[in-house]
Structure 1
Amino acid sequence: MAITLEKAKLYLKIDGTDDDALLTDCINAAKAYLIGAVSDFDTSYEKYDDFREIADQLMYDLIAEYYTNRDARNDSRANLNYMKQSMMTQLQNYAAGGTT
């Protein structure tokens, strides 16, 4: 996938290397979440630009949420917000050449 540590740090406006290990874990968790939630994720990601664009944005959003809320003590982030859920639904219902 196209999300690298450097790209995630740029997206999150993180300088330095103190949180690199944590951020790498957040990237891996976001990738695993999408692969588990979307059938044929890897195939569609490689084959369709519009799928990849939605997936990358959702992945950035998930990484940001994981990173920002890493110290959360409650379960208030148990559900995806409307935007993230909508993007996830588009990926899950993806049809070749566009989203349904």
Structure 2
Amino acid sequence: MIRHIVFFTAKEPQNLDAICNGLSLLGTIPHSEHFEVRRNSKVDQISNEVDVVVYAEFADAEALAAYKAHPIYAEATRQVRPLRELRLSADFEAK
């Protein structure tokens, strides 16, 4: 299983709903086994810069690649990119 985690920061706080809505489109792509978009609760004592988290699970690298190649992925990117500042992504194989 591949776990896919992406962190976003908003350029402006008023963009958070639009960012979450745009990222939620990704959950309609059929290749993930689990998909969530959540706002960061910002309770960490050291760092709270991240505004939104995307968490997804994929059966394998091929499913993740198919997800990223899907036209809805491109649409979500088109909607969210102008509203976000930072995007950090990590993909790793779960044991």
TM-score normalised according to structure 2 size: 0.39
TM-score normalised according to structure 1 size: 0.37
Larger Rg, first or second structure (1 or 2) = 1
Greater strand fraction, Structure 1 or Structure 2: 2
Greater helix fraction, Structure 1 or Structure 2: 1
Q: Which structure is higher in RCO with an 8 Å CA cutoff and minimum separation 6?
A: 2
